[in-house]
Every structure is written in structure tokens, then in C-alpha cells.
Amino acid sequence: MRGVCVGDVIEPQALDGVLRGHGTLLRGNSLVASRCGLVQRWNQLVLVDPLAGGYVAAVGHVVVGRIVQVEPTRWLVDIRSKTLAALPLSTAGGAMHKAAEGAQSSRSVLAEGDLITAEVQAVRADGHIQLHVRDAVASKLPPGMLVEVPAALVRPARKHVLHWREAGLRAVFGCNGAVWIGQEGGFSSLGAEQLRAASELANMVQAMASRGEMLVPARMHMNV
């Protein structure tokens, strides 16, 4: 893995066999980086994977997002990407029946400002992102705080939730760089130790992010 800055030469002689990917430029005969990042080579394809930059959604990513708009059939969610993502009402399960009966509106399930965790179900060619949750009500996050870091530091992994049972905390590391730290389990009252532990974890995440370290919950072991 080679790190490059804008202007660095990747391939001094870019022959016909080389496919130019994102983040590269052809200057004369040589391939030059146009973003700062890591050089990736896949068969003939050479590209630069940028370090900074907004979140690029892909199918299967678990993200933490905020509801910004409520529509009758769906919610629009800010996941720190170029466009808002859509969460259809059909995923709301039981709530959909109530909405159909007119007893409740979609706003009573998820309102503007609410934080949710969801999985990216589909990314269309035009950039439209569709989210999916098992249950809309369960996707709403309990009391907690949000820490925002560069999306590149959180890679999609099997384990994206950190459980810290002794402190009564749970941390969800969204692939979009939104890390939510908050209450584990039911909606019990908040204790001073819980809040202190959460602020320490938040500061640790910020410190790691400012040093450019990857945030991998599977490798984090919490000592109370």
C-alpha cells in the first residue's frame, strides 16, 4: 500500500495495459495522482483511494443517520453523504398497519432529528441511496451522543457494535463515520458513571480520529 499526494507520479510509463481509475490523471506519458490517498491496483486498474472526502455508500454498510425529512411513505435520512438516503415506510413493520388505518402518521414512528442505525440496502446508478431496517421503531437510538469522524476511518466489518456492559454503554460505529455512544439495554435512568465513561470513550474516538487511526470495534477492549 503506497501513500501518495497530489502530483506524485504513480506509473512513470503508463502503457496501454494500464486502466486509469479514480484519483489519477494522465500527464504526458505518466500516471499522476490527483487526490491524496493510497494507491490501489486491481489487475490492470490503478486508482487512488482518497483519505479524506465524504462518505460513499455501498450495499451492506451499517450507518448511523439522522432523520431530516418526514414524508407519508418514507423518511429522508442524513448519512453524511452527497445525497440524503431514503428509508421507506414499508420497513416500519407493525407501524405501517396503524398508518394505513390512519391512527398514526409516519412522524409518530420516527420524527425529524431522531438518530437511527440502518443498513444500506441499495445504491442506484444515479446516486440514490436506499436504507433498510429490521424494524423502524427498534432502529431509533436510545439516549446517547454522536461523535463524527472521517468516514474513511471506519471500514465495514462484521462487528460494528462495541458492547461495554460494565459501564452500561453501547457504541455503534457507522461506516459513514458517525459513531453513536449511548445507553445499553432499556430506557433506564442515566447514571454519572455511565456519562463519564461515555465522554471518555468519545474523547478516545476523537483522539484516534485526529491521528488518522482506524476505528475497529473488534480490537477495542474496554477496561472500566
Partner 1 sequence: MASPLISAAEVQWITAGVSFNIRNDGRQREDFRALSVQLGVITQATGSARVQLGETDVIVGVKAEIGSPDPDRPDCGRLVFGVECSPVASPAFRGRGGDELSGELARALERSFYPGPSGRAGGVDLSTLSIVSGKTCWVLYVDALLLNIGGNLHDALSVAAKAALADAKIPKVEVVQGEDPTDEPGYEVDDDPQWFSLYLYEPDYEVDDDPQQAQRLDVSRVPLCVTVSQIGAHSVVDLTAQEELCSSASVQVAVDESGVVCGLTKRRQKGVDPSVALEMVEVAQRSAAKLHAALAESLGGQQAQQMSVG
For the segment 173-202, give every residue that binds partner 1 (CB under 8 A).
178, 182, 190, 192, 195-196, 198-200, 202
For the segment 3-62, give every residue that binds partner 1 (CB under 8 A).
none
Q: Would you count residue 216 as binding partner 1 (CB under 8 A)?
A: no
Q: Which amino acid is at 95?
A: A
Assess contact for 75 and 48: CB atoms under 8 A.
no
Is residue 214 classed as helix, strand or coil in its secondary structure? coil
In whole angstroms, the minimum distance from the beta carbon of 68 to partner 1 comes to: 5
C-alpha pair distances (Å), 20 with each of 1, 6, 50, 81, 153: 17, 15, 15, 25, 25
Query: Which of residues 45, 52, 73, 112 is near partner 1 by CB under 8 A?
Result: 112
Assess contact for 48 and 34: CB atoms under 8 A.
yes
Query: Which of residues 3, 60, 143, 212 is near partner 1 by CB under 8 A?
Result: 143
In whole angstroms, the minimum distance from the beta carbon of 39 to partner 1 comes to: 30
CB neighbours of residue 33 within 10 Å:
23
The DSSP output letter for 18 is P
Q: Would you count residue 78 as binding partner 1 (CB under 8 A)?
A: yes
Between CA 46 and CA 55, with CA 49 as vertex, the angle to 5 degrees is 140
Q: Which is nearer to partner 1, 49 or 148 (CB)?
A: 148
Query: Which of residues 203, 207, 210, 212 is near partner 1 by CB under 8 A?
Result: 203
Interface residues toward partner 1, by CB under 8 A: 65-66, 68, 78, 80, 112-115, 140-146, 148, 178, 182, 190, 192, 195-196, 198-200, 202-203
